[in-house]
Amino acid sequence: MKLQVPAILLALMVAPAQARSFRQEQLRYPRVRAAYAQKADWMIARLAEKGLKREEIHILLRAFKKERVLELWVKKPDQDRYIHLQDYAFCSTSGVLGPKRRQGDWQIPEGYYHIDRFNPWSRFHLSLGINYPNPLDRIRKTAPDPGGDIFIHGSCVTVGCIPLTDDKIRELYIFAVEARSNGQERIPVHIFPLRMSAENMKNLEMESADRPDLIAFWKNLQTGYDYFRENRKISRVRVSRQGEYIYHRQ
């Protein structure tokens, strides 16, 4: 099949230099060109439903392990509030509820992260790297090696990553390319054990009554979850010396 990306190439002719640089670099790779050829028109139409253009988006990803859902949220760079755009189902999973603390535990991490790598030649079709271990993970690790190389990727296999189908990673990947091209240096990725409603948290605490350390960790995560639920804005987060998230609300 001959791959064509006329809409993208036309946009590159008038895009800011920063956008041209990153997007053009990504378009050097066949899988990225294929993703744009197959998904760019859909992406543009989907954003238009929310009154947005691809040239003006930043994104946020929120993952829920129990529900096996990855949410895509969007906003304009000069705005604070995000708009829910799309849900992506995990097509496989591994581990149990709870954070990743060591190499080889097959756990999907839990916490506040960001995309730190774009991998257009991944063994798993396309992949977006997550900056695990973050500073909290390094403090809370239970072995000398906390592990690493956690990705959102295609190919529907996992030993601690978030896997999507190849079709869906194409969609998500080009959203991330557009956000990065629009100047978003860090794309937030928030990973939770489950949707942290009052009822869900009550059940989770009952099921994990013998793990007060886990309950304390989840309650710490819930502070940021609740703030976003109420405001559709994210808190700036840092990590204390004791290994807890500290929130600075905007």
Active-site positions read 153, 161
| Secondary element (H or E) of residue 232 | none
DSSP 174-212: HHHHHHHHTT-S--EEEEESS---HHHHHHHHHHTTT-H
Cα–chain center distance at 22: 19
Q: Token pair of 211, please?
A: 């793990």
4, 77, 184, 197 alpha-carbon torsion, rounded to 10°: -100
Q: Is the dihedral of CA 34, 153, 74, 89 positive or negative?
A: positive
The structure tokens 């755009």 sit at 85
The stretches of the chain forming alpha helices (DSSP H) are 6-14, 17-26, 30-48, 135-140, 166-181, 198-207, 212-231
Q: Give the orientation angle of helix 212-231 with respect to helix 198-207, to 10 degrees.
A: 170
Q: Token pair of 8, please?
A: 């993208």
